[in-house]
Amino acid sequence: MTRRLLPGRVVDLGSGGGIPGLVLAAEWAGGGVDGVALALVDANQRRVAFLRRAVRMLGFGNVQVVHQRGEELGRDLAWRGRVGLVVARSFGPPAVLAECAAPLLRVGGHLLVSEPPDSSQEDPAAARWPEAGLRQLGQRSLSRPVVRRARYQLIRQEEACPTRYPRRVGIPAKRPLF
C-alpha cells in the first residue's frame, strides 16, 4: 500500500473487544506501515481497560484507546473533521453510526462498516443506508463490497458534516435521522 493511499488518522468506533481495530493495527504494524494513527473508541470502561492492556501487551505505539461516547467525540474539535477512515463492526443502527462517524470524518474520508449477513432481501444495505438520510450528514454510499462472504458498507464523506451533528448523547438512538 502506498503512503498516499493511507488514511492517516483512523477511528474504530465502538471498539468493544478490538475487532476490527486491533486487527488493523497488527496488519499495519506487520507490514511496516508508518503514518497511520489508530484510535480505539469505546464508552464502556471495562472494554477500554481491556483494550489498553491489549495495546500495551502487543506493543502498538501508534494506537491510542479513547474512553468516550461517539456523540462526545464528534463534538471535540481535536477530532472533528480530522479522520480519514472510521471503521465499525457492531456500533449500533446505521443512522446512529452515520451520525457519530460523519463529524469525525474529513471531506473525502470514508466510513467502512461490517454489515450483518441477510439473505432475506436482495439489497438490504440500500434500506439500511438510505441516500437521503446520508446526505443530511454530507455522506454518500459508494459500494457494498463482499469479501469472503462478509458484507461491508463503504460511505464517503462528500462535504463537511453540518455543525448541528452529532446531536446530544442518546438523541441519535432515540430519534434516528433515518
Q: In the prediction, which pLDDT does 119 show?
A: 46
d(CA 176, CA 142): 21
Q: Which domains does the chain have, with CATH numbers?
A: 3-174 (3.40.50.150)
Q: In the prediction, which pLDDT does 3 show?
A: 45
Quick check: 13 and 70 in contact, CB under 8 A?
yes
H-run or E-run covering 70: helix 70-75
Q: Which positions of the chain have pLDDT values less than 70?
A: 1-6, 30-33, 118-125
Q: In the prediction, which pLDDT does 122 show?
A: 58
| Residue 115 cell numbers, joined | 454489515
d(CA 105, CA 100): 10
- Which residues are within 8 A (CB) of 96 and not within 5 positions of it... i.e. 6 or more apart? 70, 172, 173, 176
**Can you give the pTM of this predicted structure?**
0.91
